[in-house]
Structure 1
Amino acid sequence: MRESVAELSRASGVARFTISKALNGEAWPDLLTLANLERALETDLWPGREA
């Protein structure tokens, strides 16, 4: 598991601001952002998606 938003940002290429807004429920990430986060976290973030 990533230790911080900054680490996840570096690993995914997604801005810290964007990650923070999504985590706080202040913004919905687009599909490219979700894909980058999924790749960095090595997990699915899209609910109900079939593998």
Structure 2
Amino acid sequence: MQVCLGRKYVADPGFTASYDAIEPGLTGWLRDIIDANARDRGIDPDSATWT
């Protein structure tokens, strides 16, 4: 679920604007950290789905 939310954060212009206003690139960084956490737990972020 977190991977799917991370994708949404980056895809949603409002969310991206809010977080990138705090620190430029923060939204992408957040998605990257979520994806890295998933990989560490054996989940492929590219094929993750919300079930």
With the shorter chain as reference, the TM-score category is: under 0.3
Instruction: From the CA coordinates, give the structure whose radius of gyration is larger.
Output: 2
TM-score, with length taken from structure 2: 0.27
TM-score, with length taken from structure 1: 0.27
Higher helix share: 2
Structure number with greater CO (CA < 8 Å, separation at least 6) is 2
